[in-house]
Chain A
Amino acid sequence: DVKVTQSSRYLVKRTGEKVFLECVQDMDHENMFWYRQDPGLGLRLIYFSYDVKMKEKGDIPEGYSVSREKKERFSLILESASTNQTSMYLCATTSYMNTEAFFGQGTRLTVV
């Protein structure tokens, strides 16, 4: 059974903190994605990576960075969390040969 695991289901952080959201996949997929989901706005792509150490900006990269040191792990970093980054964050993966995407369960981040 394929798995995309996000490190936390719920997270509460203070404004100005550095926040790491981790995503691990066991499918040997090349591509990994970070989205945020807000009411009325759907899923918006923050960053994606198609290989180790490679990253591409999505539609809303401002305020975020990412790291992909190993194929199975893709981290989303909020350098200085702000209240407008309170959201549901979703990680997804696809392979080169079949872009059926597999999603994690999501991390609901609250910044206070």
Chain B
Amino acid sequence: DAKTTQPNSMESNEEEPVHLPCNHSTISGTDYIHWYRQLPSQGPEYVIHGLTSNVNNRMASLAIAEDRKSSTLILHRATLRDAAVYYCIRDTNFGNEKLTFGTGTRLTIIP
């Protein structure tokens, strides 16, 4: 039970922003939201994580709803190299936590 819900697939045009949604309606107050992505033929890699406020790093931005029941990963300017499966997971960010992934969103970038 991944406890998050994401669309199976999305498409976006190259050089345009991409908004990848994730629902986590049963999230607890101490759960962080983590995003990973998996490029073809590679293991998943960390993208970003956050708790309540919006977060930015060099790869992406994370917008978390005020009620924390959903979040959106934002790629500001998609490139062909961003084509991947994106996973949204929730985690306490501390301790010996079981990490559960789901099926993610397969993002296709159209040249």
**Given the complex of chains A and B, what is the CA–CA distance between A58 and B1 in angstroms?**
11
Q: Count A/B pairs, Cβ under 8 Å.
A: 67
Give the contacting residue for A48; candidates B87, B98, B101; CB below 8 A: B98
Given A42-B104, A96-B94, also A106-B43 (CB < 8 A): yes
**Given the complex of chains A and B, what is the CA–CA distance between A103 and B104 in angstroms?**
16
Asked if residues B101 and A99 are in contact (CB atoms below 8 Å), the reply is no
Residues of B within 8 A of A33 (CB): 99
Interface size of B in residues (CB-CB distance below 8 Å):
26
Looking across the interface, which residue of chain A has its beta carbon closest to that of B8? A40
Interface string of A52-77 (1 = CB under 8 A from B): 00001011000000000000000000
**Given the complex of chains A and B, what is the CA–CA distance between A59 and B101 in angstroms?**
11
Least CB distance, A43 to chain B, in whole angstroms: 4
Binding site for B on A (CB under 8 A): 4, 30-31, 33, 35, 40-45, 48, 50-51, 56, 58-59, 90, 92, 94, 96-106
Binding site for A on B (CB under 8 A): 1-2, 32, 34, 36, 42-46, 49, 87, 91-104
